[in-house]
Amino acid sequence: MLRSILLSAAAALLPVSLAPAAEPGAAGAPRPVALDDINRIESPDGPYLSRDGRQVAYVADKQIYVVSATRGPSRAVTAAGSTASTPYWSKDGRALYFLSDRSGSSQVWKLPVALFGEAVQVTRFEHGIDSLNFSADESRLLLRFTESALAQPTAKEAAAEKKPEPWVITRLEFKEDAGDGYLTGDRAEHLHALDLESGKLTQLTSGKFSESDAAWSPDGRSVAFVSNREDEPDASYKTDLWLVAADNPDRGQSLVRLTNDARVKSAPAWSPDGRFIAFLAAEDGVYGSPQLAVMPAAGGEPRILTAQLDRWINSFKYSQDGEWLYFLFESDGGTHLARVRPRDGRLERLLEGELHVSALDVAPSGVVAARLENANDAPELYVLGKARPRRITDVNDAYLHSVALGDKRRVEFRSPDGTLVEAFVTTPRGFDPKRRYPTILHIHGGPVSRFAYGYAFQPQYLAANGYIVVEPNPRGSTGRDQAFIRAIYQTWGISDYDDLIAAVDHVIGLGYVDPQRLGVFGYSYGGYMTNTVITRTQRFKAAASGAGHSMIVANYGHDIYQKWYNWELGVPWENRDKYERLSPLTQAGRVTTPTIFLGGRDDWNVPVLNAELFYQSLRSRGVDTQLVVYPDTHHSGWSEEFEKDYLRRVLEWFDKYLK
């Protein structure tokens, strides 16, 4: 049954075109990408397959849509004006559950499928519900919150009563990049079961430790979850799998521990027969590539199923018969689909090529659906077929038809030590390989991240303004083996710097890059590497550093990374040389590159202190520089207004020095 819907090996290697190329329409020729397009692309939340595999639900623009798995017009089944999210098909296939704030707070609603008539409100939980985690019989819902949450006032009441109070800090990890930044009071989040018929709330766990990634057993009698229950959780990345009885009378005092090793575990999922639990396991919490593992639900030694692949696993899903685990894995600039058979470890690659698969679902009927994109295309939903994936949505077609995109291609080259590295190169519309273009080196954040196939606004916007954009995946990036990712351990800005410069040299060697008009920019770790680049070379005529570290020791106890620093660098009073060696600010006296620094005032991930220190150092030396600080802004979640302002200033800075 399953094999009939999988791609053949030959077809799987073909690139998949996910949207029609932009072409002239009624309004005339496609226009250049503009700043107002910054949030035009929508990534549909889905796919959510019905139990029979005939229909697919997804979310776009805060509404839920349903489309036939064999392609047809999408139907909006929730109204505009309120948010709707997280569609969940009922086990009998007759209804669609979802979350909506239409009653004033986020609650569970139920919509009949046959006519898609009026939705009925299922829950009236005063403090709101933020996820749908049903028991198999759909009688109970798993929730997670602190013990004190129910005693706290609602958001409306809290706003009315708000008055300044001192922050009293007692825990080791006391910062987060949200709200006021400080972690105080009761922060341990516990599991609760909400009976949907009676409204009874049963607390399943308690104590000083938090639980996450909870999963019901198929019979509804047990819940598997992830928790760090070390003596000092704030000092360790280690997490383990645990079991608690769903009718637990002691609030989790009697738990069953399933694992106890140094690996970081996440995302437990029960096999359909309840005999096994699959999960992701990584060697560490920073550079460790998650691998797909399985173990008996009754306890026993876990088996790693994807070690032979040696790639970063993103997500997975059991087939209904339990014979296969479907999963997504990163490979170079793509994210591909494969499956592995738990009983013997047989691994089959199903969907490969120049594409990025970002979500999947497997229906009980065996139908497989996915969200994917390739080189310049925006994400859309597909159902896998015998020969090729079949596209079933057109969420982004109107925009892609209206704009003239630059070309995006993947290239490979060797770093000075022979390491093979990849990069994506985006060229302007109408690109002429005989010309020499101003070129920008764009560095990704993370560092454990990467550039991938698919539409990305920043390089398209810069290309539309006449630039070639080079986006390398240096050592430390995902998409390669564990050794490649871990290569920057305690050596940030060293081997990855060589890879970045090798990318620039490679495109210069292709003949269409003007070596006298080079710029460099990045955000987060990309900002840190921008700071590093300008201290080691003067070949870049302009730089833009967004939220990048500059003086690592100044961040110890100031940002959110104390656990990371202690794990990788040790404490600064014993290992100050490591902190100094990795801090670009210590070499600020070498910098001649005009640089603009940008960041959020309330960023506790990479505090704006770093930008201030570097800005002051360059300003005092007479190097042309600017500091731009965005009020009430964290590391992410920026307003569209500030996102536009950021890119406008970056472009103006490069235009000033490269054109």
- Is there a domain that residue 434 lies in? yes
- Is there a domain that residue 165 lies in? no
Grade residue 42 by pLDDT with cuts at 50, 70 and 90. Answer: very high
Q: Is the pLDDT of residue 294 over 50?
A: yes
- Is there a domain that residue 116 lies in? no
Q: Is the pLDDT of residue 231 over 60?
A: yes
- Is there a domain that residue 38 lies in? no
Find the domain containing 526 and state its range: 406-658
Give the model's pLDDT for residue 185.
76
Give the model's pLDDT for residue 157.
58
Give the model's pLDDT for residue 159.
60
Neighbours of 628 (CB within 10 A): 19
Q: Is the pLDDT of residue 402 over 50?
A: yes
Grade residue 386 by pLDDT with cuts at 50, 70 and 90. Answer: confident
Q: Is the pLDDT of residue 334 over 70?
A: yes
Grade residue 27 by pLDDT with cuts at 50, 70 and 90. Answer: low
Give the model's pLDDT for residue 91.
92
- Is there a domain that residue 190 lies in? no
Secondary element (H or E) of residue 630: strand 625-630
* CATH number of the CATH domain containing 442: 3.40.50.1820
In 3-state terms the chain splits into helix, strand, coil percentages (rounded to 5) of 20, 30, 50
pTM: 0.93
- DSSP structure class, residue 628: E
448 — alpha (psi -120 to 50), left (phi > 0) or beta? beta
Q: How buried is residue 629: exposed, middle or buried, by Cβ count under 10 Å (0-12/13-18/19+)? A: middle
Domains contained in the chain, number: 1
Higher pLDDT residue, 6 or 200? 200
Q: Where are the alpha helices (DSSP H) in 394-477?
A: 397-402, 457-464
Q: What tokens appear for 542 in the block?
A: 């302009």
Residues in the chain: 659
Give the model's pLDDT for residue 502.
98
Q: Is the pLDDT of residue 23 over 50?
A: no
Q: What tokens appear for 322 in the block?
A: 């339990």
CB-based contacts of 412, cutoff 8 Å, min separation 6: 420, 421, 422
- Is there a domain that residue 580 lies in? yes
Neighbours of 446 (CB within 10 A): 16
Give the model's pLDDT for residue 503.
98
Q: Is the Cβ–Cβ distance between 140 and 134 less than 8 Å? A: yes
Measured distance CA(141)–CA(88) in Å, rounded: 12
Q: Is the pLDDT of residue 99 over 70?
A: yes
- Is there a domain that residue 637 lies in? yes
Higher pLDDT residue, 35 or 25? 35
Q: Is the pLDDT of residue 9 over 70?
A: no
Grade residue 423 by pLDDT with cuts at 50, 70 and 90. Answer: very high
**β-pair partners for 328:** 315, 337
Measured distance CA(251)–CA(192) in Å, rounded: 9
Q: State percent of the chain over pLDDT 90.
A: 86
- Is there a domain that residue 214 lies in? no
CA proximity to 7, closest of 471, 469, 387: 387
Torsion angle, CA of 536/538/539/541, rounded to 10 degrees?
130
Q: Is the pLDDT of residue 150 over 90?
A: no
Q: Which of 148-157, 285-294, 416-425, 522-531 has the lowest mean pLDDT?
A: 148-157
